[in-house]
Structure 1
Amino acid sequence: MRKKIVLFSLGVLILFVLTGCVPGDGTYTASKPAGFFWGIWHGWISPISLIWGLFDKNIRVYEVANKGWWYDFGFYMAIIGGFGGLSLFRNKTSNRNNK
């Protein structure tokens, strides 16, 4: 039971750390836009941002104050690489278990 409590607490702590820099929180402005690496980060945490955005109208999945093409490239690279990579990995292991 203690292990479950520690793991749950660790999960909650990680969740708070991961959501520290969500798009639309006012961190980025036109004079200080988000760049390539922030695009990657926002792509990775986009599911969390989407759920949080349901409760706070200022939180977005995508940062509107960004540097343009490089932010877009990082964002889409994280979306495709993170979610697509997981599904490809799952398909390989499930096919291996069926044989």
Structure 2
Amino acid sequence: MIGRIAAAFALALLLSACASQIDAGVSAGAEVPGFWWGLWHGFIFPWAWIGSLFSPDIAVYAVPNTGGWYDFGFFVGITVLGGGSFFGSKKRGSG
């Protein structure tokens, strides 16, 4: 069990090393989406994704954005507000 967790953690760490964001995608200013917009965009992700399949004017992720804080808000919006933690917390029946 511990070996599988360690392997999953090592794989996640290896894959995250490949992640990068171009400098043109990160900006600063009053109009640039930050944490709160990331939170909102994460929350509406399922509907925005469906809309993006039918319209090229709909995007699920704002670019440019403030970088890490936008990403954190987006993550929280998807996992907590979007139901990600709800579906992972269901208890399995014993027996």
Indicate whether the TM-score tops 0.5.
Answer: yes
Higher percent of residues as helix: 1
- What SS does the aligned partner of 2:83 have? helix
RMSD of equivalent CA atoms:
2.3
Give the aligned partner of residue 84 of structure 1: 84
Partner of 2:47: 48
Which amino acid letter does the alignment assign opposite residue 46 of structure 2?
P
Q: Which residue of 2 aligns with 1:38?
A: 37
Provide the secondary structure at the position in 2 that maps to 1:60: coil
Indicate the percent of aligned positions where both proteins have the same amino acid. Answer: 44
Unaligned runs of 5+ in 1: 1-29
Normalising by structure 2, we get a TM-score of 0.59
Residue 34 of structure 1: CA displacement? 0.7
Show the 5 A alignment for 1:20-39.
32-39=31-38
Q: How does 1:5-20 map to 2 (within 5 A)?
A: none
After TM superposition, the runs of 4+ consecutive aligned structure 1 residues lying more than 3 A away are none
Q: How many residues align?
A: 67
Deviation at 1:47, TM superposition (A): 0.6
Distance in 2 (CA, whole Å) between partners of 1:45 and 1:56 is 16
| Equivalent residue number for residue 3 of structure 1 | none
* Mapped partners of 1:35, 1:54: distance in 2: 25
